[in-house]
Amino acid sequence: MHTRSRTVTMARQAPATVTAAWSALRSAGAAAAARLAQWIDQSVGWTRLPRTIGLAVLVGLRHQLRTSNLYAAEPAPAPLSGPVTTSMGGTAAASMGGTAAVGEYLVARTRDGSYNDLSDPRMGAVGCRFGRNVPPEYSYPESAQRLLDPNPRLISRALLTRDSFQPATTLNLLAAAWIQFEVHDWFAHGTVATQPWVVPLLDDDPWPQRPMRVERTPPDPNPGTAGPPTFTTQESHWWDASQIYGTTPEFACALRAPERGKLRIDESGLPPSDVEATVDLTGTAGNFWVGLALLHSLFMREHNAICDHLAQVYPHLTGQQLYDKARLVNSALMAKIHTVDWTPAIIAHPTTVAAMRANWFGLLGERLGRRFGRFSSSPLLHGIPGSPTTHHGVPYSLTEEFVAVYRMHPLIPDEFTFRSLDDDRVTARHELPDLSVRNVRARLAENPMADLFYSFGRAHPGALSLHNFPRHLQHMQRVDGTPVDLATVDLIRSRERGVPRYNQFRTLFRLKPARTFEELTGETTLAAELREIYDDVDLVDLMIGLYAEPKPPGFGFSDTAFRVFILMATRRLESDRFFTADFRAETYTGAGMRWVRDNDMRSVLLRHFPGLAPALAGVANPFAPWNVAASR
């Protein structure tokens, strides 16, 4: 009996042993492939390879980054207690003790981002800590003395000031508005007025206050006892369209229309003034401008169109159910647009265009997916949407390094030309302050929204380069009258949050550090300017290095920044159950799934503004320059 029992036990254990061995073998193979990809990248460069080989190298680099460049913020956030707040502000109960959770949040996004991961309900929610892409020992904030060395205001004036506008001619201005629209969904640190950073000014500096004072990032309200300081977000870390739907109950409830789950939109195309009254304009909302207004209006209209369609197909759905399903569909559609429209426009290398489409549709492609559906769980073959959820061993959050590489203010022009969609004639010219938060409704009243979309489609954003920071953002005024130099602020933010400087950053992402200023810039004039400010190439700030670095063919930003995107662009999708395990008809409805499948930025624009069709005809990407309107 003993021998037989042991034999039976071994037989039962055999499948598990084989599975574990196969998993270990696959892991070892992936690690070896990643090392080979790194060697090829460092020896040849992925941009110089044929597309298929380049894609394979990027997959290997992504595996290496997942293994070596994901660090959770410690300590973990406190567990939730009490009722769950849904997107409408209602509640849903959750059972405890490891049993299955029940409630509306199982099939709907919550207002604060909680319960996206059912086993870790606080993961990614409002108030959670930013993670890191670099080891903790490299993420300590700089000392007060080093934080001002070199002087960030001097760098702003000497290296960032826009002498003349450098356009990004492969893009239209909607591309600039889009990324700010998305950033407002992804993260917000906030500021605290106590003990501001004091920045000395040179005698010839015209800044109106002496010395310059820059508010600090708020400290973590519940810091750990060891390790580098941590910082928390005022938005959820999830890709959940919170910039539209809001994270406060006051805003979310005020925005809701009484009928069929819709959002309230007034004659301007924006939320009514009583909704705006719930917004704190001293925070992120104070950055609102006409470019953001266009996209907010567009996707509020899209939400309402989704509600109408779902109500027609499923007349039994309640208003709350329509709202929740429409939010899921709208959020997924925005994520799809960012993945297959915006990103391929700003990094238009053939390999990255294919890589981003593979992220959404898989290597088998959109056509086969439409025809045959998924026949495996592989995200590589079929795309991340609908694949298993995975955090790669590290609780999901956005990271301080991700925030740092999204500092893209040079995309914004200082001057704007408005044109008529009917005949392309110039109808108005404005400076950036004329389009800011206090003047948005005036501009919308003066110009049909279709004309504004056309004007943005015809105009170019700025290139992400040195000497191209918007002058108006170096000398802007908040709604309370406080003067702000955003270039100075951007430099201080990375230093105070412990984001490594350029060369250290490259080293930690397994890229060769620049040995000289000439090697960093690829030319001599900019190298001399950087040398005069920094003296030591290892002191160059990350943002300055990203702007100065020569870009790969078709790229709007640097290859160094791209390393963070390789990692985090997939992570934002694959960690979110509403894009993975719950990206299915049971959660979205069948009609909702078809809406995401069948739409993109072009169809959204044409649904709400059909008059844009001639301007978009034959344009390969709606974030590329549009056609000139012919006289009618």
Q: Which residues are catalytic?
A: 184
Beta bridge partners of 417: 429
Q: Determine the 3-state secondary structure of 472 from DSSP.
A: helix
The b-or-e profile of 61-83 (16+ CB within 10 A means b, else e) is: bbbbbbebbbbbbeeebeebeee
By DSSP bridging, strand 91-92 and strand 426-431 are unpaired
- CA 197 to chain CA centroid, Å, is 27
Q: How many DSSP H helices and E strands does the chain contain?
A: 28, 8
- CA 237 to chain CA centroid, Å, is 10
Rounded distance between C-alpha atoms, residue 596 and residue 333, angstroms: 5
**Number of Cα atoms under 13 Å in the Cβ half of residue 88:** 21
Which residue bears the tokens 């709208």?
330
Rounded distance between C-alpha atoms, residue 351 and residue 348, angstroms: 8
Residues in the chain, overall count: 632
Q: Are 380 and 355 in contact (CB under 8 A)?
A: no
Which residue bears the tokens 């950053």?
505
Beta bridge partners of 263: 256
Q: Are 401 and 561 in contact (CB under 8 A)?
A: no
- CA-CA distances (angstroms) from residue 156 to 88, 163, 213, 532? 43, 12, 15, 14
The 3-state secondary structure of 375-410, one letter per residue: CCCCHHHHCCCCCCCCCCCCCCCCEHHHHHHCCCHH
Tell me how crowded residue 550 is: count the other CB atoms within 10 A of its CB: 11
From the number of C-beta atoms within 10 Å of its C-beta (0-12, 13-18, 19+), residue 383 rates as buried
The 3-state secondary structure of 343-373, one letter per residue: HHHHECCHHHHHHHHHHHHCCCHHHHHHHHC
Q: Are 500 and 541 in contact (CB under 8 A)?
A: no
